[in-house]
A and B are shown apart, each in its own frame.
Chain A
Amino acid sequence: MRLGGLILLFLSLCLGAKEYAVIGNERLPNLTAVQIKAIFLKKLTHVNGIHLVPVNLPSHNHLRKIFEKKLLKMSERRLKSYWIKQHYHGKRPPVVMKSQESAILFIHNVQGGLTYIETAKINKPVKILYTFKEED
C-alpha cells in the first residue's frame, strides 16, 4: 500500500510537471535567461536587428507569476516599483494580452513579439526560444 502510494505520487508529480516556453518569431535566436529578463525589463530592445515587443499576461495570471519568479526573479511589488521608476526614464511596461491564445496570435502576427506560454498550448508556427518548468 505504501509503495503503491509512492508510485501514484511519483506519477502525479511527473504528469503535473508542466513545461513552459518563451516563444517568438522564427527569425529570433535562442535566448538566455539573462537576455529574456533584460527584454521583459525593456533593457534589451533589439536582437539580430529586430525590434522586440515583449507581451505579458494579466498581472493576476498564474503563468505570469511563475514567469516573473523563475525568469525575472522579482516580486510583483518590486516590478511595480521598477516600472514606476522607468516612467521617469520614459520607458513603458510590456503590453498585456488577456489570454495565452491572444498572446500566441499576437506573436504570430508581430515580427518582434515574444511571450511565455504553456508548451502544450502552442498551436501556431512560432519558435521556442527558451523553456522552463515551475519547479526548476
Chain B
Amino acid sequence: MQAQDEYTLGEGYQVGEMPIYLGGYFSLDYRKKDEEDRYRVDDIALMSYGGNDTIAYMVELELKEFYVKTSDDDTTTTTRNHRLYIERLYFDYTMNDNAMFRAGKFNSPLGFWNLMPINVLRATTSSPVSTQIIFPQFTTGLDFQYSSFGEGELKFDLMLQDNTPIDDEYNNYDVDQHFALGVSYEKDAYALKADGGFFSKRDKNTGVKDFTYALLSARYEADTYQFLAEMGTQRSKDGDHNYAGYAQGLYRFTEKHIGIIRLESYKDELKNSNDNMAIFAYTYRPLYPIAFKTEYQQHTKSNENQIIFSFSVLF
C-alpha cells in the first residue's frame, strides 16, 4: 500500500502508509421564515475508514446541532448540544466476486438521496421530506449485497435488523426491527431502484408501532445535468397512510455554478400534515468539497415559506 503523495481536500488523509484514512465534514446554515430566524452549526463530523482486500471498516462520530440560535418577534433561544453521536459504525466483508456483507450501523441503502445525505454532497441544503418520513434513515444490523455486471449493473440489498439500535437518538425513527429488500439497475446514464420493507418504531408514549413502506427511485445523470425523482408510501398497522415524493432537476452552468429546481409533495397522517412545495436553489462550489448554497422554498402552507443559506466542507 502506497502513501498518498499529498493531501487533497475532500479525499481524506492517509495515516502514514497504513490503509487507514481520516476525514470529516461540517456545515453551518441560516434559515429565514416569516416570523423566525435560525442560525445553526449543524454538523461537525469525523470519520475513519480503511481495510484490506476483503475486510473494511467505517466509523463516523458527529456533533449534531452543535449550536442553534432561534429568534422570533418576542424571544431568542440558544441551544448547545455537545453530545457526540455515532452516525455510522460498520464492518464490510467481501465474500466473493458478487457478494458483500455489512454489519453494524449504516445508512439504509434505500433510494439515492439517503446514500448521499450530508449537506456538502447533496444538491440542496434541505432534504426532501420523502427521505425523512417514509423509512428509517439508518439501520443497525446486517446488509447483504449482491451485484452482477452484465449489460448494466444489477444490485440487490437485503437489510436485517432485529436488535436495539446503536445510538437510537441519531435516526429519524427509533427502530428495533427493520427488514427491507432493494433492487437497483444502472446502465449508462440511467439508474432505477425499487425498495420495500417493514419496521417497528419505538415510542416512549405510544409504545411499539409497525409500518410497511415502498420506495421507487429514478435518476438520469449526464455531464451537465441530472434528473432525480423518488416516490415513497408508508402504511401503519393502524391504517395511517403517508406518502411523499419529489422530482428534481439540476443543471451545471459551469463546474462551480449549479442551479436546482425541486418539486415536492407529501401527506403525513401521523402528524396530520400535508404540503406541496417548490424549491429553487443555487450552489457555488469553488472546489467540489466546498459548497455555498442558497435556496428559496415556496410552500402551499405560506407560513412555511423560507430562505436558507449554508456553508459546508468535506475534508
Binding site for B on A (CB under 8 A): 32, 34-35, 38, 43-49, 51, 73-75, 77-78, 80-81, 83-85, 87-90, 92-93, 95
Contacts and interface: CB of A to CB of B under 8 A. Distances in A.
Given A44-B149, A45-B94, A51-B54, A88 B118 contact: yes
A77 B223 contact: yes
20 contacts: A34-B150, A34-B153, A44-B97, A45-B94, A46-B97, A51-B53, A77-B255, A78-B223, A80-B288, A81-B288, A83-B11, A85-B116, A87-B23, A88-B25, A88-B116, A88-B118, A89-B58, A90-B51, A92-B12, A93-B11
B97 A34 contact: no
A4 to B, nearest CB: 41
B261 interface: no
A11 B295 CA distance: 57
A92 B21 contact: yes
Contacts of B255: 77
B49 interface: yes
Contacts of A34: 149-153
Contact of A85 (B53, B121, B188, B223): B121
Interface string B109-143: 00000011010010000000000000000000000
Contact of B10 (A43, A44, A87): A87
A38 B187 CA distance: 11
A88 B47 CA distance: 8
Contact of A49 (B49, B97, B121): B97
A9 B151 CA distance: 37
Nearest to A46: B97
Contacts of B2: 95
B96 interface: yes
A79 B96 CA distance: 26
Interface in B94-108: 94, 96-97
B139 to A, nearest CB: 15
Contact of A75 (B121, B223, B288): B223
B171 to A, nearest CB: 18
A47 B94 CA distance: 12
Chain A binding surface SS class? mixed
Interface in B170-227: 188, 221, 223
B56 interface: yes
Interface in B238-265: 252, 255
A45 B52 CA distance: 11
Contact of B314 (A35, A49, A88): A88
B147 interface: yes
A136 B116 CA distance: 34
A9 to B, nearest CB: 32
Nearest to A41: B153
Contacts of A89: 58, 115
Contacts of A77: 223, 252, 255
A90 B12 CA distance: 9
Contacts of A35: 149
Nearest to B59: A90
* Most B CB within 10 A of own CB, among A44, A47, A93: A44
A47 B96 CA distance: 8
Given A51-B54, A73-B188, A87 B11 contact: yes
A112 to B, nearest CB: 8
Contacts of B12: 87, 92
A90 B58 CA distance: 7
Contacts of B96: 46, 49
B108 to A, nearest CB: 14
A47 B97 contact: yes
Contacts of B25: 88
Contact of B147 (A44, A87, A88, A93): A44
Contacts of A32: 149
Given A34-B152, A38-B153, A88 B121 contact: yes
